[in-house]
């Protein structure tokens, strides 16, 4: 199999090494010649360089490939993708060639690019997760679409992807650009899980007075059981890291968190589709809040410690609360994928989606089994839901901020306890005559039910 790859940065370089290791012949190009040289040096050190051809010109890349060509893009999302596509067309790419955008592109761009390039080449989309390590040794690959070129390249992707229970974590999850939508939601869940772990750490550190190392030990114990996940594992490792003078690494790092866009798009799409993903939205806003001027005082751990209260948290209850809040983040993400799939008629297969998340990706976790078996799990976890309620209350009493923990509790409570929507319906009709829905799904006005002599002005 012969494949081309454009973009040899963090992801491209590692995916290239993975591809050639698995027997694929690769023609690779990056506009920066140093990136190509670096890759060649690595391939030589791994003994796989005979299958790698670095080119310094995109035209040379196209000429070296036999048609129909398969070209992967791992360049930053946005207009660069179009720029590279145009360069490839100018270099001689043809109608049966397939270009797969493997970056974190917005799925809406994927849909419009499919149309834009339909008479020039097959444009396909695939989200990849796993960071540098995943790309090198087995990522999760969320592809989509029904372009003919997939049949050529799928066997190679199945080989280089991570696998779980001998099943590949590569899948074409649905129609059109749904692979990029699924990757976007994967990242939305990633934001929520990362923030949730940070909140549990914060509660233990400032609410309960534990050291980073003690918290690392707690996370390690949880990881040994059914809470094992990649993000929890890297968090405990990070919390163990110290400088030579025994300063915790985390204390050397500023609080302002950056973002590249996928979390924001997840929140935007959820709001547009009317699907509630409060934990995912809270995580995006939590990052925004770390960058607002007023919260810069929070850079000083001591400041935060002085102005908050110590609380007594039962570790078993905290573990249960964390477990359920984590499951709820996936549940919200899956509900968003399901809703978008219905709206766009993508026919996204949720079982295949979950299979791509089982290994290789950033949000892999042993407890995904629970979700795979029963996506509607919320009614079954009574111990955990009691714990989430109790821990959220204690967390709030500490005076610290827990946006994702409390959003998860609110989400669960909204699903499982009586709603107060009846009063809001009444308010809307009272001032705006918007109508109210009745218990039997009829519609009417307040005045159809009661006499209102004079309204409040």
Ligand X SMILES: NC(=O)C1=CN([C@@H]2O[C@H](COP(=O)(O)OP(=O)(O)OC[C@H]3O[C@@H](n4cnc5c(N)ncnc54)[C@H](OP(=O)(O)O)[C@@H]3O)[C@@H](O)[C@H]2O)C=CC1
Which positions are annotated as active-site residues? 183, 190
Closest separation in Å from C-beta 224 to ligand 5RP? 25
For ligand X, the closer CB: 72 or 153: 72
Closest separation in Å from C-beta 398 to ligand X? 33
Q: Is 428 annotated as a binding residue?
A: yes
- Pairing state of beta strands 163-164 and 167-168? antiparallel
Q: Is 130 annotated as a binding residue?
A: yes
260 binds ligand 5RP (CB under 6 A): yes
Give strand pairing partners of 123. 99
Nearest to residue 17, comparing CAs of 50, 45, 39, 41?
39
Interface pick for ligand 5RP out of 262, 355, 406, 408 (rule CB under 6 A): 262
For ligand 5RP, the closer CB: 259 or 275: 259
Q: Is 205 annotated as a binding residue?
A: no
Question: If contact means CB under 5 to 8 A according to the sort of partner, which of ligand X, ligand 5RP, none does residue 80 touch?
Answer: ligand X
84 binds ligand X (CB under 6 A): yes
104 binds ligand 5RP (CB under 6 A): yes
339 binds ligand X (CB under 6 A): no
CA atoms of 355 and 182, how far apart (whole Å): 12
Give strand pairing partners of 3. 26
16 binds ligand X (CB under 6 A): no
| Phi/psi at 315 (5° precision) | -65, -35
Q: Is 287 annotated as a binding residue?
A: yes
Site string for ligand X, 109-138 (x = CB under 6 A): -------------------xx-x-------
For ligand X, the closer CB: 27 or 35: 35
Closest separation in Å from C-beta 1 to ligand 5RP? 26
Site string for ligand 5RP, 210-249 (x = CB under 6 A): ----------------------------------------
CA atoms of 331 and 213, how far apart (whole Å): 31
For ligand 5RP, the closer CB: 169 or 311: 169
Closest separation in Å from C-beta 330 to ligand 5RP? 15
Interface pick for ligand X out of 23, 32, 67, 424 (rule CB under 6 A): 32
In this structure, what DSSP letter does residue 47 have?
T
Interface pick for ligand X out of 5, 12, 97, 216 (rule CB under 6 A): 12
CA atoms of 233 and 220, how far apart (whole Å): 7
Question: If contact means CB under 5 to 8 A according to the sort of partner, which of ligand 5RP, ligand X, none does residue 360 touch?
Answer: none
CA atoms of 110 and 442, how far apart (whole Å): 41
Cα→Cα distances 318→314, 343, 386, 395, Å: 6, 38, 11, 10
CA atoms of 66 and 2, how far apart (whole Å): 8
Q: Is 104 annotated as a binding residue?
A: yes
* Site size for ligand 5RP (CB under 6 A): 10
Closest separation in Å from C-beta 132 to ligand 5RP? 9
- 70: phi > 0 → left, psi -120 to 50 → alpha, else beta; which? beta
Q: Is 129 annotated as a binding residue?
A: yes
190 binds ligand 5RP (CB under 6 A): yes
Question: If contact means CB under 5 to 8 A according to the sort of partner, which of ligand X, ligand 5RP, none does residue 74 touch?
Answer: ligand X
CA atoms of 153 and 170, how far apart (whole Å): 11
Closest separation in Å from C-beta 78 to ligand 5RP? 13
Helices (H), 291-381: 301-306, 315-344, 350-356, 368-373
| Burial of residue 113 (number of CB atoms within 10 Å: 0-12, 13-18, 19+) | buried
For ligand X, the closer CB: 241 or 259: 259
Say if residues 231 and 197 touch (Cβ distance below 8 Å): yes
Structure tokens at 346: 């993508």
Query: Which residues within the stretch 371-430 sit at the binding site for ligand X (CB under 6 A)?
Result: none
Question: If contact means CB under 5 to 8 A according to the sort of partner, which of ligand 5RP, ligand X, none does residue 187 touch?
Answer: ligand 5RP
| Burial of residue 47 (number of CB atoms within 10 Å: 0-12, 13-18, 19+) | exposed
CA atoms of 77 and 104, how far apart (whole Å): 6
- Pairing state of beta strands 436-437 and 443-444? antiparallel
Closest separation in Å from C-beta 446 to ligand X? 51
| Phi/psi at 291 (5° precision) | -100, 0
Neighbours of 317 (CB within 10 A): 18
DSSP string, 213-250: HHHHHHHHHHHHTTT-BHHHHHHHHHHH-B-TT--BGG
**Site for ligand 5RP, rule CB under 6 A:** 104, 129, 131, 187, 190, 259-260, 262-263, 362
Annotated binding site for substrate: 104, 129-131, 186-187, 191, 260, 287, 428, 434
**Site for ligand X, rule CB under 6 A:** 6-12, 30-32, 35, 74-77, 80, 83-84, 103-104, 128-129, 131, 260
Annotated binding site: 104, 129-131, 186-187, 191, 260, 287, 428, 434
């Amino acid at each position: 199999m012969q494949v081309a790859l454009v973009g040899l940065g963090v992801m491209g370089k590692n995916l290239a090494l993975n591809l050639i290791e698995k027997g694929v012949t690769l023609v690779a190009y990056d506009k920066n010649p140093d990136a190509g040289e670096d890759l060649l040096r690595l391939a030589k050190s791994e003994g796989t360089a005979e299958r790698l051809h670095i080119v310094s010109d995109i035209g040379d890349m196209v000429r070296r490939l036999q048609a129909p060509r398969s070209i992967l893009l791992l360049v930053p999302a946005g207009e660069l993708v179009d720029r590279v596509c145009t360069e490839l067309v100018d270099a001689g790419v043809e109608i049966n060639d397939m270009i797969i955008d493997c970056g974190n592109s917005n799925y809406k761009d994927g849909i419009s690019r499919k149309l834009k390039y339909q008479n020039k080449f097959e444009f396909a989309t695939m989200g990849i997760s796993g960071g540098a390590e995943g790309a090198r040794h087995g990522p999760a690959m969320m592809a989509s679409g029904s372009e003919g070129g997939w049949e050529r390249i799928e066997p190679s992707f199945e080989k280089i992807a991570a696998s779980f229970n001998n099943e590949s974590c590569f899948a074409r999850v649905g129609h059109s650009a749904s692979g990029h939508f699924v990757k976007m939601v994967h990242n939305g869940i990633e934001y929520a899980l990362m923030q949730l772990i940070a909140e549990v750490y914060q509660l233990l550190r400032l609410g309960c007075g534990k050291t980073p190392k003690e918290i690392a030990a707690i996370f390690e114990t949880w990881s040994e059981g059914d809470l094992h996940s990649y993000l929890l594992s890297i968090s405990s490792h990070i919390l163990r890291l110290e400088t030579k003078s025994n300063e915790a690494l985390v204390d050397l790092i500023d609080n302002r968190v950056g973002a590249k866009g996928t979390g924001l798009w997840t929140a935007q799409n959820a709001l547009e589709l009317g699907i509630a993903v409060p934990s995912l939205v809270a995580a995006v806003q939590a990052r925004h809040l770390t960058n607002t001027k007023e919260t810069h005082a929070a850079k000083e751990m001591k400041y935060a410690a002085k102005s908050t209260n110590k609380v007594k948290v039962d570790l078993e209850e905290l573990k249960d609360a964390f477990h359920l809040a984590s499951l709820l983040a996936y549940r919200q993400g899956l509900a968003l994928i399901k809703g978008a799939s219905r709206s766009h008629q993508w026919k996204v297969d949720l079982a295949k989606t979950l299979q791509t998340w089982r290994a290789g990706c950033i949000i892999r976790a042993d407890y995904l089994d629970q979700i795979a078996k029963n996506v509607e799990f919320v009614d079954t976890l009574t111990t955990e839901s009691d714990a989430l309620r109790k821990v959220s209350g204690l967390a709030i009493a500490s005076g610290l901020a827990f946006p994702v923990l409390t959003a998860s509790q609110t989400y669960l409570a909204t699903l499982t306890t009586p709603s107060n929507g009846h009063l809001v319906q009444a308010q809307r009709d009272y001032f705006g005559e918007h109508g109210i829905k009745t218990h039997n799904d009829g519609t009417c006005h307040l005045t159809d039910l009661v006499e209102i002599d004079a309204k409040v002005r």
